[in-house]
Structure 1
Amino acid sequence: MAKLPPFPGTTGRRDWRTAMDAIRKLLANGDDTTQVFRIMRALNVGNAPMNYARLIATERGGRIAYEQVELARHFSDPAFVASFAPGTVGAAYRHFLETTGYSADGLVEVSRLVPSEDDLAHPYAWFGRRVRDTHDIWHVLTGYKADESLGEAALVAFSYAQVGGLGWALIGSAAALKSLRVTGNALFAKAVWEGYRNGRKAEWISGEDYLTLLHEPLDAARARLGIATPVAYLHAQRELGPVLASYLSAQKAGAGTGPERIAA
């Protein structure tokens, strides 16, 4: 695969000082999603060119890249979200939005609290937005809950396996290590490791045409993409119970809607 040039104006260097400051704050307050994006900006250097090159090398990736659909605009349209038949990925996404109170716009707003190149008119920036805007679709596909630290940490590990980026690796590893102290056992950490392994085994989801995928039956989509049932995750979810709830930050208890995702 050809190596594409770096994002114009970037140094190509990882900012570990910023990343470590952000992970410390995120571990102290799992609701502070802004720190996730600080970590991503600091460590995911070179990630966008690598994934964009992978996209355009696929059979349908050239068309997807040429069309540059802004998925957040569709996901934020109530009529679009309401249009999917029962049992489809889109219907499951609609249920996700209704039950969590989350929104595509909310995730966009949080990402913009951290200065980045994401809003630029550039193919790499567009791909970065694509990964950001499909985060909740990945929750639906994998079965990892978005309103708990365990589900977010497992999806972070799954995401690292899928799209790379040391930012994802740092967040998933730090969450797993913290869980050993908080829960007193390795169930949480095993679920995170399973998320990584499942991500490695699955097809490359970022190469999917999401506007088509949303109309596909959920079970069929999971089978086609090779997304395994997260056995260790479901076991940890059952066994940890109240301990898992205590893993969340104090701010979570008083939170309603909003961008309290990708928590560590």
Structure 2
Amino acid sequence: MAATLPPFPGTTGRRDWRTAFEAIRKLLANGDDTVQVFRIMRALNVGSTERGYARFLATPEGGRMAYERVELATIFAQPGFADQFAPGTVGAAYRDFLVSTGYSADGLAAVSREGSEIEDIVHPYAWFGRRVRDTHDIWHIMTGYKADESLGEAALVAFSYAQVGGLGWAFIGAAAALKSLRVTKSTLFAKAVWEGYRHGRKAQWLQGEDYLKLMHEPLDAARARLGIRQPVAYLKAQRELGPELASYLSERRQATAEAGEPQRLAA
């Protein structure tokens, strides 16, 4: 059974709904504004980091990893890191992900720091929160949800809520699903989001994994071991809605795409 730990020092223990609603309006108006995702998480994910860290310590390898406190974003961003992995492994898929999206390993970390004074503080909870952040792209690879479309991000948000807890994840996923009913005139998007949640519930707890070892594991074997199912509803929605509706193409995203610059999409 997981240990009970004290709350994050300096926190009130109350959710900031005003900030959350302000941020979700901006996010739904512009899916490229990933900064709003982190504003929502900080506003609503009260207690989830503490609970996750306690659960992490209770896993067979969690104590060791917590003691070592490896910063995954720093490791992933090292020159040549992604080049070491054999074909067919999780790491090779990560390498392909970086090439196909144009993302950098520390790009999400940079976005998360905007407007935050606590992102990089030296504290076990803050470290665990960064670990959740830094494995986001690995979860895209493991689940098969694309990172450069709102459909894939929304499905992964729902998967993450089932895995990590924290009301912020649910808030974003539900808002994206509701918006999809108006934008797409279809329930396909919403069904894919719900499937993401169900698959997250059924999978093993991914935050307990040693990601530096996982990267060397064959991708299909890792998915099978962790109980990550094929996203049937997601693939159907992606196929039938088409790339424009799946991505909620905003004016900013279109301009960025025309300029050939990488993007960070949210829901």
TM-score of the two chains, using structure 2 as the length reference: 0.96
Match of 1:2 in 2: 3
d(CA) in 1 for partners of 2:28, 2:117: 22
The answer as to 2:127 corresponding to 1:123 is no
The answer as to 2:166 corresponding to 1:165 is yes
TM-superposed CA distance for 1:118, in Å, is 2.0
TM-superposed CA distance for 1:104, in Å, is 1.9
The answer as to 2:145 corresponding to 1:113 is no
Match of 1:134 in 2: 135
The answer as to 2:240 corresponding to 1:236 is no
d(CA) in 1 for partners of 2:83, 2:71: 18
TM-superposed CA distance for 1:103, in Å, is 1.1
TM-superposed CA distance for 1:74, in Å, is 1.2
SS in 2 for 1:78: coil
Aligned residue-pair number: 263
d(CA) in 2 for partners of 1:125, 1:2: 18
Match of 2:12 in 1: 11
Q: C-alpha deviations, 1:80-101, integer Å up to 9, x for none? A: 1111011000000000000000
Q: C-alpha deviations, 1:30-86, integer Å up to 9, x for none? A: 000110010011001111110000000011111111111100111111311111011
The answer as to 2:260 corresponding to 1:260 is no
Asked whether the 8 Å contact 1:33–1:260 carries over to 2, the reply is: yes
d(CA) in 2 for partners of 1:114, 1:183: 33
TM-score of the two chains, using structure 1 as the length reference: 0.97
Q: In the alignment, residue 206 of structure 1 is paired with which amino acid?
A: Q
Asked whether the 8 Å contact 1:37–1:114 carries over to 2, the reply is: no
Gaps of 5+ in 2: none
RMSD: 1.1
TM-superposed CA distance for 1:257, in Å, is 3.7
Match of 1:20 in 2: 21
**Structure 1 segments (4+ residues) deviating >4 Å:** none
Match of 1:207 in 2: 208
Q: C-alpha deviations, 1:134-193, integer Å up to 9, x for none? A: 100000000000000000000000000000010000000000000000000100000000
d(CA) in 2 for partners of 1:97, 1:81: 9
The answer as to 2:65 corresponding to 1:64 is yes
- Aligned residues with identical type, % of pairs: 75
Asked whether the 8 Å contact 1:56–1:62 carries over to 2, the reply is: yes
TM-superposed CA distance for 1:199, in Å, is 0.3
Asked whether the 8 Å contact 1:183–1:243 carries over to 2, the reply is: no
d(CA) in 2 for partners of 1:213, 1:189: 31
1:138-157 matches, within 5 Å, as 138-157=139-158
The answer as to 2:248 corresponding to 1:247 is yes
